[in-house]
Amino acid sequence: MSEKLVRVHHHPSSYSSIPFSSPSSPSSFFLTFSSSSSSSSSSSISIRFRTPLSSLTPLHQLHNSPLSINLIPISTDSHFDQLLSHTQHPHFIILWMANWCRNCIYLKPKLEKLAAEYYPRLQFYSVDVNAVSHKLVARAGVTKMPTIQLWKDGKKKAEVIGGRKAHWIISEVKEMIENECTM
């Protein structure tokens, strides 16, 4: 991010107005300072100006990819079976979660950001264990929430079980993807 640094020196009980304009932005800023200190020494104030957000190009336009991808919901056994047998992608990620699980709710947006990093090479799905049959959850071998599984060629290849800090889980999921997927 572009920053400009301006140092303002002023004497107590005086006002200082300093014009500032960024070469990268047509906007001008005027800074006014006053001091009510009875001391006769001068003071220095450092102020950082960042380039206005409106002048920055959004990341998704720079890389031509989204910032996050909604996880595709799996809501039936037949949808899960179809995914295993007829997927366009040989490998995919499934987040098994519950709507009452705080760790799951906190982790989901972080996985959506991770999904954008691998888009379109890898698809990310989610399953709410309360919205599907218990038989499906048992078939997938899910016993704890959240569970993130990597499936390849219709078979579960690896999984990460949550319950820890989200950044650790995301690191483990990235490692799992790098170890199991050849993209």
Catalytic residue positions, numbered: 101, 104
How many residues belong to the chain? 183
**How many beta carbons lie within 10 A of that of residue 95, not counting itself?**
25
Phi, psi of 82 (to 5 degrees): -65, -40
What Cα–Cα distance (Å) separates residue 63 from each residue in 18, 41, 68, 174?
A: 38, 51, 13, 20
Question: Treating both helix axes as pointing N-terminal to C-terminal, what angle do 166-180 and 102-118 enclose, rounded to 10 degrees?
Answer: 40
Q: Report residue 18: phi and psi, to 5°.
A: -125, 120
Spatial CA neighbour of 7 closest among 36, 43, 50, 35: 43
Q: What SS3 class is residue 155?
A: strand
Using a 10 angstrom Cβ sphere, with 0-12 exposed, 13-18 middle and 19 or more buried, the burial of residue 149 is buried
